[in-house]
Structure formats: C-alpha cells, structure tokens
Amino acid sequence: MNGPSRGSRVSTPRLVGLAVALLALTVFIAENFERVEVRLFVTERQTRLAWALLIAAAIGFVAGVLVTKLRRK
C-alpha cells in the first residue's frame, strides 16, 4: 500500500482553516504585546498580554484534543 492510510488523511480545507486560524492568532498576539495584570484565583502577576493569550490558546488546543479523543472512545 503506497498511499496514506485512511485514518491519517487530512483534508485540504481543514489545513487551510488551521493555517488561517494560526495566522490570525499570531497577528492578534503580535498586536497585543503590552503589559497587563493577570489574576488567577489568589495570585496576581504582571505579564505581557501576548504570553497570556498564547498560554490560553495552548490550553484551549489541548482541551480540544482531549475532548475529541474522549468522544471517539
């Protein structure tokens, strides 16, 4: 069997959508690089908004992957 396996194929529209979303996220983060105060429960920190957005996006991505994997079982 020379072609890609059936389970590993990713459609072109899905890849284009992912690329557009990543580009939009990158531009959004680059435009928001000022310092902000971030409060999580009882802690407060000063950080760049870009880092807070990047961490939030990463947590959302991981949560999405986990939910998808759990739904397939």
What angle separates helix 49-72 from helix 12-31, to the nearest 10 degrees? 150
What is the C-alpha to C-alpha distance for residues 67 and 7, in angstroms, rounded to an integer? 18
Q: Distance of alpha carbon 30 from its chain centroid, rounded?
A: 15
pTM over cut 0.75: no
Q: Give the tens place of pLDDT for each residue, 6-61.
A: 555 668 888 899 899 889 888 887 888 899 998 888 889 999 888 888 888 899 99
